[in-house]
Amino acid sequence: MPKTQRGGERSLLLANCRYRKLGMRKPCCDKEDTNKGAWSKQEDQKLIDYIQTHGEGCWRSLPKAAGLHRCGKSCRLRWINYLKPDIKRGNFAQDEEDLIIKLHALLGNRWSLIAGRLPGRTDNEVKNYWNSHIRRKLIKMGIDPDNHKLFHLHHQCFPLLHRPRTDVDKDDDALPVSSAAATSADSFKEKPNSSNNLNLDLTIAFPSGTPNPNSAESSHNNNTAKDMDQSQSAPTLPLFN
């Protein structure tokens, strides 16, 4: 059973309860007739049908036009993260994982930029994968996932992380810290690209078809433009420095 069909009504109730409890301001689209929580198959189909006919965009007016009792934000997220036809689902390949680590070292938590380098992957998926898999793996290897440095290089800041290794730490992919550096460094070396779709060139460049933000006609995609402005030249990865 797809997770998307679990407990929709319950999460709606919990969400409404949360606003009251925490004194949070209600979202703009929190109307009585607006659905929340998991999407049903029928809702998915309505959204797919509408976008296939009319294309993406105008998310604010889309729900009404498509006959959905959802806010535009929710529709956009559902489409981008789940329904879009070119989305690649399933496990991440090793080269995808390596690329995420490299890009994270370079860009930090800018998940949309990182996802932009992984065809078929969404920012949400990359973020979740980072938090649930890669982050933990790096910690096990003795690498601080936040700055990609070995823990022992700044152990004063993280004394609790430098406890003696115990049986709990022993795991298939757990490595002694001393060898972890070499192993991870090896894994970051450029290796033959097993996935032809992956763009492992880390030079920051504008996606094909995207106008140069410095040019007069570009007024769109300002975040990207801002990010690009900050990295004019192709940076090298500051791993383990």
Partner DNA sequence: AACAAGTTCAACCGCATAACA
Partner DNA sequence: GTGTTATGCGGTTGAACTTGT
Buried b (16+ CB within 10 A) or exposed e, 13-46: eeeeeeeeeeeeeeeeeeeeeebbbbbeeebbeb
Q: Which stretch binds DNA (CB under 7 A): 20-28, 153-161, 189-197, 202-210?
A: 20-28
What's the CA angle centered on 232, arms 231 and 234, to 5 degrees?
Answer: 80
Q: Which stretch binds DNA (CB under 7 A): 111-119, 154-162, 183-191, 228-236?
A: 111-119
Taking CB under 7 A as the binding criterion, the range among 52-60, 98-106, 172-180, 195-203 that sits at the site for DNA is 52-60
Based on the shown chain and the rule CB under 7 A, indicate whether residue 58 belongs to the binding site for DNA.
Answer: yes
Q: State in angstroms the smallest separation of the CB of 119 from DNA.
A: 15
Phi, psi for residue 81 in degrees, rounded to 5: -90, -15
Q: In whole angstroms, how far apart are CA 27 and each of 15, 38, 61, 73?
A: 11, 17, 17, 11
Residue 148 found at the interface with DNA (CB under 7 A): no
* Interacting residue with DNA among 152, 214, 226, 231 (CB under 7 A): 226
Q: How far is residue 140's CA from residue 157's CA, in Å, rounded to a whole number? A: 17
**177-188 vs 94-107: helix crossing angle, rounded to 10:** 100
| 114: exposed, middle or buried (Cβ count in 10 Å: 0-12, 13-18, 19+) | buried
Structure tokens at 191: 């290796």
| Residue from 69, 84, 88, 127 in contact with DNA (CB under 7 A) | 127
Part in contact with DNA (CB under 7 A); list of ranges 123-131, 158-166, 173-181, 197-205? 123-131
Q: Is the CB of residue 237 less than 8 Å from the CB of residue 202?
A: yes
Q: Kindly indicate which of the ranges 32-40, 93-101, 155-163, 202-210 contains the residues binding DNA, using the contact rule CB under 7 A.
A: 32-40
Q: Is there binding between residue 128 and DNA (CB under 7 A)? A: yes
Q: Return the residues of window 193-222 that contact DNA according to CB under 7 A.
A: 219-220, 222
Whether the Cβ atoms of residue 137 and residue 173 lie closer than 8 Å to each other: yes
Residue of 49, 57, 155, 178 interacting with DNA (CB under 7 A): 57
The CA distance from 124 to 115, in Å, is 8
In the set 36, 46, 121, 149, which binds DNA (CB under 7 A)?
36
Q: What type of residue is 1?
A: M
Which of 48, 77, 153, 239 touches DNA by CB under 7 A? 77
* Residue 139 found at the interface with DNA (CB under 7 A): no
Instruction: Provide the binding-site residues for DNA, judged by CB under 7 A.
Output: 1, 3-4, 6-7, 10-11, 14-15, 18-19, 24-27, 29-30, 35-39, 57-60, 71-74, 76-78, 81-82, 109-113, 123-125, 127-129, 131-133, 136, 219-220, 222-224, 226
